[in-house]
């Protein structure tokens, strides 16, 4: 019976240590995300930096739209060959 409790407490100790590592990692991630959001907000206050950020977002949207268009054209070609 004593061995059972020793093993149970050892398992709880290991579980607590593992959960602590998870909590530390999640806290570090939340802290980094908060800092990134702050830096992005700060960048939007400077007109020159805001312009660069907005242009980068537009470029990413254009690239995504071009990829979707290319994929749709490939599907159209593939559908035309089946007929």
Q: Which domain holds residue 31?
A: 1-45
State the first-to-last Cα distance of the chain, in angstroms, to the nearest integer: 75
Please report the pLDDT score of residue 5 as a whole number: 84
Q: Are 63 and 33 contained in the same domain? A: no
Q: Are 9 and 25 contained in the same domain? A: yes
Q: Are 37 and 76 contained in the same domain? A: no
Q: Are 41 and 51 contained in the same domain? A: no
Q: Are 59 and 69 contained in the same domain? A: yes
Q: Are 17 and 4 contained in the same domain? A: yes
User: Directed axis angle between helix 2-45 and helix 47-82, to 10°?
Assistant: 110
Q: Are 40 and 3 contained in the same domain? A: yes
pLDDT value at 82 more than 70: no
Compute the average pLDDT of residues 6-26.
Answer: 92
Q: How many domains is the chain partitioned into structurally?
A: 2
């Amino acid at each position: 019976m004593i061995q059972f409790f020793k093993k149970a407490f050892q398992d709880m100790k290991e579980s607590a240590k593992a959960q602590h590592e998870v909590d530390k990692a999640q806290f570090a991630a939340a802290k980094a995300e908060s800092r990134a959001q702050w830096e992005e907000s700060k960048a939007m206050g400077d007109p020159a930096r805001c312009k660069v950020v907005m242009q980068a977002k537009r470029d990413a949207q254009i690239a995504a739209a071009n990829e979707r268009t290319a994929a749709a054209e490939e599907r159209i070609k593939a559908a035309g060959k089946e007929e």
